[in-house]
Chains A and B, each alone.
Chain A
Amino acid sequence: MNKLKAIFLPFFSGVLLLGIWYSVAFVYAKNEGYEVQRIVIPFPHQIVAALWDERAILWIATRQTALAALVGFIAAVTFGYVLSMLLASAVWVKRSLYPWILVLQMTPVVVLAPIFVLWIGQGLPSITAITFMIGFFPVVANTTMGLISTDRNLIELFEMSNASKIQEIAYLRVPYAMPYFLTGMKIAGTLAPIGAIAGDLFAGSSQGGVGGIGFMVILYNSQVKVPELFATAFVACFLGFIFVGCVNWLHWILLKNWHESVRATDIE
């Protein structure tokens, strides 16, 4: 019964939303004419048609953006983790580095984007760097928190066993910080496609024919191809779902045996 509701309710609300969309677009078309309506509030079927017509070009754009997002994301997670280890290793390291990491984080990436382009050039390198900049802070902040908030009693347990610093890190701090790290990774995963698209808006280029999703947004916008613009939004949303889905899956795989966050849903 609940399963039926879980499928039926979103379906019903989806149909309702589509209905509202159609009615608004229809009323608009009656007042302003179908030509204007098409470039202001296109009918959903017009968006689907645009998606189909542009599928080849959007597919290439999506692949480009996905690549930039993935590389930036992996760099953010890797570098973020290593940096967290460093920050958690000693209080003086954290005191000297953390304020500057914050300063970097507080500087809006969109402001830095032209500088990146200046330094490392248009296209994939800059886009990846922008994605990286957006993603690495949540990883650093969360992982560091996990590493330094390890349960005092557990640390004493390791001390009583004459554990070495390396053993304490490997067998205690790293697994203890895992849920925190994964939380940071989830946020980075949500931000990565957004970062890649934003990066594309600033540093995208059409070298080799097409750019990424952000580039297509600029292109369609300048050509007043509004249904195509909506189609691009749909594709971007889809990419975001894939990213978040993968990270959530990883979260589940790594924590399903022991952590409250995934266990709770699993018990019954």
Chain B
Amino acid sequence: MAQITPSCVLISPDPDTPLVKIENASKRFGDTTVLDRINFSAKKGDFVSLVGPSGCGKSTFLKLIAGLHLASEGSVTIDGVDPKNAREEMAFIFQDANLLPWRRVLSNVELPSQLRGESKSKRKETARKVLELVGLSHALRHFPWQLSGGMKMRVSIARALTLSPKLLLLDEPFGALDEMTRDRLNEDLLRIKARDGWTAFFVTHSAAEAVFLSNQIIVLSAKPGRIAEVINVKLPTFRDADLRETPEYLRQVAIVSRSIRNAH
């Protein structure tokens, strides 16, 4: 990842411009209420993690923002408009890398710009650029099955970045990876964020991961999913791998872990 500078990271939410606004949103599937009266708004540049016991509706929360689910009540807006009309502004990163197995890495990353109808040369150029950003320039001609789990995830991230989104929605992207790979990808994610400045919603099971990445953490309680607590992460805005060894970091992780336990 030597090609990305700076090595330290600045998280800088812009306090005056809410990008994602969720007002009194509920989601029901049949008789089951998955999310109950959610109110939250995220500013431009925020990195918001969603944590909570399994089955608390974290993924549903994310899909409401993506417009893949519609709120049964209440409203969700992105930059003031309906999520379905704001798709050009956002990208979704799925639980597994979700690559098309019949396409090589380069052409997988080209997909979003291809679907938008961009010229072949332009989309190849963008795809090359983002693949370089995630450190996969050497694997352009590989098929997904030839990649490790971590590499597949990098391809998935690259694909999400091709259209320079303002809002990145990540649905437990690193859940299946080993800890070392996950840590590396977390650091890389922050580096790229420092460069591009997007806003992110990040679903995870790991309190440590949430603390490392976020400036805000939403703790959801289960059945029905409600916001139990919103934790502001009191850590410096400059973050790198060394942060994980500081006592403040460990204290924050303990706070979040306790909050998740209480949310049961």
Contacts and interface: CB of A to CB of B under 8 A. Distances in A.
A36 interface: no
A258 interface: yes
Given A175-B102, A258-B143, A160 B90 contact: yes
Nearest to B160: A160
Given A160-B66, A161-B111, A162-B115, A172 B100 contact: yes
B115 A153 contact: no
Interface residues of A, number: 20
A260 to B, nearest CB: 8
Interface stretch (B3-11, B91-99, B176-184): B91-99
A159 B68 contact: yes
Which residue, B66, B91, B102, B116, has most C-beta atoms of chain A within 10 A?
B102
B101 A157 contact: no
B101 A160 contact: no
Given A153-B94, A156-B92, A163 B115 contact: yes
A258 B145 CA distance: 7
B234 interface: no
A175 B116 contact: no
Interface in A143-182: 151, 153-154, 156-163, 167, 171-172, 175, 178
Contacts of A172: 100
A257 B115 contact: no
Contacts, number: 50
Nearest to A154: B98
Contacts of B95: 153
Contacts of B82: none
A63 interface: no
Contacts of A151: 98
Nearest to A168: B115
Interface string B80-119: 0000000110111011101011100000000110111000
Contacts of B96: 153
A171 B92 contact: no
A172 B88 CA distance: 20
A205 B230 CA distance: 83
A154 B87 contact: no
A259 B101 contact: yes
Interface of A: 151, 153-154, 156-163, 167, 171-172, 175, 178, 257-259, 263
Given A153-B94, A154-B100, 8 more contacts: A153-B96, A156-B68, A160-B68, A160-B87, A161-B116, A163-B115, A171-B100, A175-B100
Interface of B: 66, 68, 87-88, 90-92, 94-96, 98, 100-102, 111-112, 114-116, 143-145
21 contacts: A154-B98, A156-B92, A157-B92, A157-B98, A160-B66, A160-B68, A160-B87, A160-B91, A160-B92, A161-B87, A161-B115, A162-B87, A162-B116, A171-B100, A171-B111, A171-B115, A175-B102, A178-B102, A257-B102, A258-B101, A259-B101
